[in-house]
Amino acid sequence: MGTRFITLILALSILLSCREKREIKTIEGRCIAVTTIEQNGVAEQVRKLIENGNAAVDSVKAPIIGECAKRLTLFSPESPLMNFAADALMKMAKRHSKERIDIAITNKGGLRSEINEGTITFGDIYNVFPFENTLVLLTLDGKQLWKLFEEIAKEDGEAISGAKIEMTQNGKLINATVAGKPIVPTKRYRIATSDYLSQGNDGLSTLATGIDKIEYSVTIRDLMIEYVESLDKQEVAVDADCDGRIKIVTE
């Protein structure tokens, strides 16, 4: 028995030492629809899970919260949807903070859908504001604010409220005012924005230099919902137009 065992071990060692070395060059894969998984009724379980999940989501998104007077479209450098978002942010930031707010800014890149004419549902607002961005207040002096407006011009406009910008077609800032007045270099301006932009994202790096920063737990999306609902209680439809707050001019 001992001799046979030793012989077997030697034979396996020789075979293993003679095996050709291999290495993985590529890995291929493909998507398999969950409906093709038939073992133990998994497909049916997954289908029911998806259906129940969709139904739960739809029930949350379905309630009507207001009316929209006309379609709010999105384009640069200024659009009705951008103006709606910025003006609503301004009003709701004042309501939640009880502070004086000079300017409200949110990014057009965060507006992921448009709002159609007619009823507005929770789902409509979720589609426009799908991210969990929260409200932030911060302060910039006039020099910083001018630099911020230069960045906004380079980005071909952003959603702003409380200020007006004149810029060239190629993104050069020509003039800017706050509440109709020239920017004072030494004056401090209070700004409402999102936590995402307050970190200097989307090309607006100057916002990251702000002081007296206050962060709120309320999301921008919830502020928009609250704003639409407040208008609906007054039987007022959501409405916004381009009003020249960001204007293209020649040098």
What pLDDT score does 62 carry?
82
- Could you say which residues of the chain have pLDDT below 70? 1-61
What pLDDT score does 5 carry?
47
Enumerate the β-bridge partners of residue 192: 104, 137
Task: Write b or e for each residue in 90-111: b if 16 or more Cβ atoms lie within 10 A of its Cβ, otherwise e.
Answer: bbbbeeeeeeebbbbbbbbebb
What pLDDT score does 4 carry?
52
Q: Which amino acid is at 142?
A: G
What pLDDT score does 251 carry?
82
What number does CATH give the domain 63-248?
3.90.780.10
- Sheet holding 134-141: strands in order across? 159-161, 103-106, 188-194, 134-141, 211-219
What pLDDT score does 166 carry?
98
What pLDDT score does 22 carry?
53
